[in-house]
Amino acid sequence: MPAGAGAGSRDRPLLSVIVATLDASRSIDDCIRRLAESCAALESEIIVVDPSMGVGALVPELWAEGYRRARGRIVAFTIGQCRVTPAWARALVDAIEHGATGAGGPLAIAADAGPLDWAVSYLRYSAFTVEALGSGNTDGEIAGDNAAYRREALDRHAAAFDDGFWEIDFHRLVRADGGWLTAVPEARVEFGASDPLGTMVRHRFAHGRRFGAGRARTRSRLRLVAAAPFVPAVLAARAAARVAGRRADRWRFLAALPWFLVLATAWAAGEARGAMA
């Protein structure tokens, strides 16, 4: 889906935006509308990928398929539940053009989000708020749900995406190559209208299983399994500490805690299953 116009857009647009969609029917129209507005001044394309295209049912698998179809010199990733701001595309492109290998922006909770959305956001994105993410070059991580990368860096490691684009793994490769990541506060997105609870539980279990399998290569499997019952409490304590200084977030976190613990338990169970597998 072209989002920008220009003489060179038919050959190699400046920016490709990959949108992974899983149960995003409530939000995808608004997501695409806002992306089109943000990208309008750039030679760009928007590629929407969902499991009906014959790829797997995890977001990193959809991202990998979108990357393989993308033509842009810069490739950005997001999901159908995210709504970008007008400055989003230009801010990420500027960061890459100024030397970063990867650039990522903060994620905020949408005004119309509900308790399940809050729980998902605190579980997945509490490390990527405006306050937590910061600005400029970072030794930490950027969220794949709101990130862009140089195409040549992605191409160099394309074989690593056979089982999906997992941004943490890719960031290790970027840094091993001497590249760097940067945090871009202006590239803000809002998260809302999350998947149904059952779908989110399945996704968290699957992501946890993959994470656990990776950790088991370097750590004791029995230790990982024994630690699994404590993981939900650890994740909750970590998220609570990140939001403690913000009054609105404190009460939303408490209201969302039951859903948070359900999702964190699914992650922990998946991590234990992956470690044993």
Q: What average pLDDT does this structure show over 41-59?
A: 89
pTM for this entry: 0.89
- Give the C-alpha distances (Å, rounded to integers) separating 179 from 73, 143, 210: 16, 17, 26
- What pLDDT is attached to residue 219? 66
Distance CA(178)–CA(120), nearest Å, equals 33
Residues 117-136: tens digit of each pLDDT:
999 999 999 999 998 999 99
For the segment 212-264, what is each residue's pLDDT rounded down to a tens digit? 887 766 667 888 788 889 999 999 999 999 988 888 888 999 999 999 999 99
CB under 8 Å to 146, separation ≥6 — which residues?
A: 77, 78, 82, 104, 105, 106, 107, 128, 187, 189
Contact 107, 165 (CB under 8 A): no
Q: What percent of the chain has pLDDT over 90?
A: 71
Surface-to-core class of residue 263, CB atoms within 10 Å of its CB (0-12 exposed, 13-18 middle, 19+ buried): buried
β-strands 74-79, 147-150 pairing: antiparallel
What is the share, in percent, of the chain residues with pLDDT greater than 70?
95
Contact 188, 85 (CB under 8 A): yes
Per-residue pLDDT of 77-122, as tens digits, reads 999 999 999 999 999 999 999 999 999 999 999 998 999 999 999 9
pLDDT the model gives residue 196: 81
What's the pLDDT score for residue 214?
Answer: 76
Tokens of 82: 């995210």
- Report the DSSP pairing between strands 189-191 and 107-109: parallel
Over the stretch 160-196, which tens digit does the pLDDT of each residue have?
A: 999 999 999 999 999 999 999 999 999 999 998 777 8
CB crowding 180-201: b at 16 or more within 10 Å, else e = bbbbbebbbbbbbbbbeeeebb
Q: What's the mean pLDDT when you consider all of the chain?
A: 90
Which residues, in sequence order, are CB contacts of 125 under 8 Å at separation 6+?
107, 143, 145, 191
Q: Where exactly are the structural domains of the chain?
A: 15-191, 197-276
Per-state percent for the chain, helix, strand, coil, to nearest 5: 55, 15, 30
Mean pLDDT of 14-36: 92
> Which pLDDT score is estimated for 277?
76
DSSP alpha helix (H) spans, the chain: 28-39, 59-69, 88-97, 115-125, 130-133, 151-156, 167-176, 197-215, 221-227, 231-243, 247-276
CATH T-level topology, domain 15-191: Spore Coat Polysaccharide Biosynthesis Protein SpsA; Chain A (3.90.550)
